[in-house]
């Protein structure tokens, strides 16, 4: 690691009802990958928004390249060489790759945009990064992994000296993650300072040099990655020990009735003759590699995508589910893997989101019974331990883990008996994960039935009573948890 390029000292920031940052410190050196970790709501994103001028700090100092600075907007930070690669990609799918990279600072030929020059400059950036992408390709035609690479190229085009990666691997395949790590190591070798925000503990040990941990808006400490264990980091993050032992036997009663039966389901290219059963009080895990068809199966069952053929039975009765509305009437709730697109309305309050699926239950005459809405919302804020100043807080201001809890609350308020959890802990820290695991086990013990789709093998083994494995749109195995191993699951997930 080289000299210190960036120091944030004693950074403090408050919002109405929330002390978001409490005298936080961060030091980044040239030629290092520096992890920034903490539970959802710990203040990581807020700290980076203060750094890049999205928020104004209340107190503290930022020193960059030996000079005290304060950026008033992200453009100022970019021009100085500090760039964020966001978790939610800020790309325009209808434009070309090159047009996205140079948007707002296009090369001109007279009064016309010089696309040829932009393509040429984009190719230079890709060569520098060792990436094979056609600059003239429409952004919407690329995989998420390739779009992520374009975001990195865009950051480099600003002559970045410090790059902040915010959950960069959340939606990537294993192969794409390897490609990402190769690029990050190359940037480190070129003496850039890298801030790496992630909840994936195994990644931190592989790609980072130091780890700074935050908790409840405060600075806990900084560790050298090679000298610490996963448990050291987790204990600093949550202030408590979290045990995540695999489940050794099914918790479902042998005579538990079948609440959902799916027979010979076909939908598009990704769901081919899929059949399975879900029992009362069961957590049925769906495992498989990216593109296996797990989410597509769930969406077809929920009526979000049209099924071509197949039968669905709820509590022994054949039902026709042609829309999510039909599914909800049958007592099925669906927590999408893309919560911001399908799960919540970020511009609405916690209360409005929590009661969204059950709004008619809160109507009194011509008006919504606000008192009842507040009481019910507060009940689930307390039960789920959702960190929010109150029921009127806009969901956009909550951390990812707390947004997920609001989505869960929505379906609990609706009192659905069958819940489909699609990647329930994606982008969520270990503390919030543990809380959601406890909640899922509680719901199952109360008699709710859960389908859990997860790409994380430890999660599948920890939570499932039974595991359905898919590969290329087909069910390739069904394994009782007592017999399940990572090897068995991976073998079934790669069957052709």
Angle between helices 430-445 and 230-238 (to 10 degrees): 80
Q: Do domains 4-238 and 258-493 have the same CATH topology?
A: yes
Where along the chain do its domains lie? 4-238, 258-493
User: CA–CA distance from 175 to each of 122, 181, 360, 399 (Å)?
Assistant: 23, 10, 47, 28
Q: Do 345 and 395 touch, CB atoms closer than 8 A?
A: yes
What is the rounded distance in angstroms from the CA atom of residue 73 to the CA atom of residue 48?
Answer: 12
pLDDT at position 339 is: 73
**CA-closest candidate to residue 430, choices 208, 227, 236:** 236
Angle between helices 400-413 and 430-445 (to 10 degrees): 10
Helix H or strand E encompassing 129 = helix 115-129
What's the topology of domain 4-238? Rossmann fold (3.40.50)
Question: How many H-runs (helices) and E-runs (strands) does the chain carry?
Answer: 16, 24
Token pair of 443 as six digits: 């719901």
Specify the CATH superfamily of domain 258-493: P-loop containing nucleotide triphosphate hydrolases (3.40.50.300)
Cβ neighbours of 343 (radius 10 Å)? 23
DSSP state, 130? T
- Hey, which residues does 311 pair with through a beta bridge? 263
**CA-closest candidate to residue 340, choices 115, 162, 102, 88:** 88
Cβ neighbours of 9 (radius 10 Å)? 15
Q: Do 238 and 38 touch, CB atoms closer than 8 A?
A: no
pTM of whole model > 0.85?
no
Cβ neighbours of 243 (radius 10 Å)? 6
pLDDT along the chain (496 residues), means of 10: 93 87 96 89 89 95 96 93 80 90 90 93 88 90 82 85 87 78 91 90 90 92 93 79 74 95 95 97 92 92 95 97 95 84 86 90 87 93 89 88 88 92 82 84 94 90 96 94 90 78
Q: Do 58 and 12 touch, CB atoms closer than 8 A?
A: yes
**CA-closest candidate to residue 486, choices 461, 469, 464:** 461
């Amino acid at each position: 690691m080289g000299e210190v390029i960036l120091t944030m000292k004693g950074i403090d920031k408050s919002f109405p009802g929330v002390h978001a940052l409490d005298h936080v410190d961060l030091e980044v050196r040239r030629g290092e990958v520096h992890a920034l970790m903490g539970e959802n709501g710990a203040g990581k994103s807020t700290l980076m928004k203060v750094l890049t001028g999205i928020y104004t700090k209340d107190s503290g100092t930022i020193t960059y390249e030996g000079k005290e600075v304060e950026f008033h907007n992200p453009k100022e930070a970019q021009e100085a060489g500090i760039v964020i690669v966001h978790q939610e990609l800020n790309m325009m799918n209808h434009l070309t790759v090159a047009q996205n990279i140079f948007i707002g600072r296009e090369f001109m030929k007279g009064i016309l945009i010089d696309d040829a020059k932009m393509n040429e400059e984009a190719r230079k950036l890709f060569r520098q990064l060792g990436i094979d992408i056609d600059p003239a390709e429409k952004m919407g035609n690329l995989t998420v992994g390739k779009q992520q690479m374009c975001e990195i190229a865009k950051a480099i085009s600003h002559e970045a000296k410090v790059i902040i990666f915010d959950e960069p691997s959340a939606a990537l395949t294993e192969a794409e993650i390897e490609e990402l790590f190769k690029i990050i190591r190359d940037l480190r070798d070129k003496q850039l300072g890298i801030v790496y925000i992630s909840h994936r503990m195994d990644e931190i040990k592989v790609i980072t040099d130091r780890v700074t941990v935050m908790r409840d808006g405060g600075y806990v400490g900084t560790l050298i990655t090679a000298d610490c264990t996963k448990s050291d980091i987790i204990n600093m993050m949550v202030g408590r020990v979290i045990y995540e032992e695999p489940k050794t036997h099914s918790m479902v009663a042998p005579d538990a009735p079948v609440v959902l039966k799916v027979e010979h389901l076909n939908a598009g290219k990704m769901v081919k003759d899929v059949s399975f059963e879900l029992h009362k009080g069961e957590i049925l895990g769906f495992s498989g590699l990216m593109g296996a068809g797990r989410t597509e199966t769930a969406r077809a069952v929920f009526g979000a995508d049209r099924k071509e053929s197949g039968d669905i039975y709820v509590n022994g009765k054949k039902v026709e589910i042609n829309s999510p509305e039909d599914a909800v009437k049958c007592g099925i709730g669906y927590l999408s893997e893309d919560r911001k697109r399908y799960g919540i309305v970020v511009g609405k309050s916690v209360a409005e989101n929590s009661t969204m699926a059950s709004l008619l239950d809160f109507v009194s005459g011509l008006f919504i019974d606000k008192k009842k809405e507040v009481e019910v919302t507060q009940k689930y804020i307390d039960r789920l331990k959702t960190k929010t100043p109150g029921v009127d807080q806009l969901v956009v201001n909550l951390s990812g883990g707390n947004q997920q809890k609001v989505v869960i609350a929505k379906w609990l308020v609706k009192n659905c008996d069958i819940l489909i959890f699609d990647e329930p802990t994606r982008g969520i820290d270990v503390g919030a994960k543990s809380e959601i695991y406890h909640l899922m086990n509680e719901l199952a013990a109360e008699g709710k039935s859960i389908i859990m789709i997860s790409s994380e093998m430890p999660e599948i083994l920890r939570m499932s009573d039974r595991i359905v494995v898919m590969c290329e749109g087909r069910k390739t195995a069904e394994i009782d948890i007592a017999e399940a191993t990572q090897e068995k699951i991976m073998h079934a997930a790669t069957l052709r």
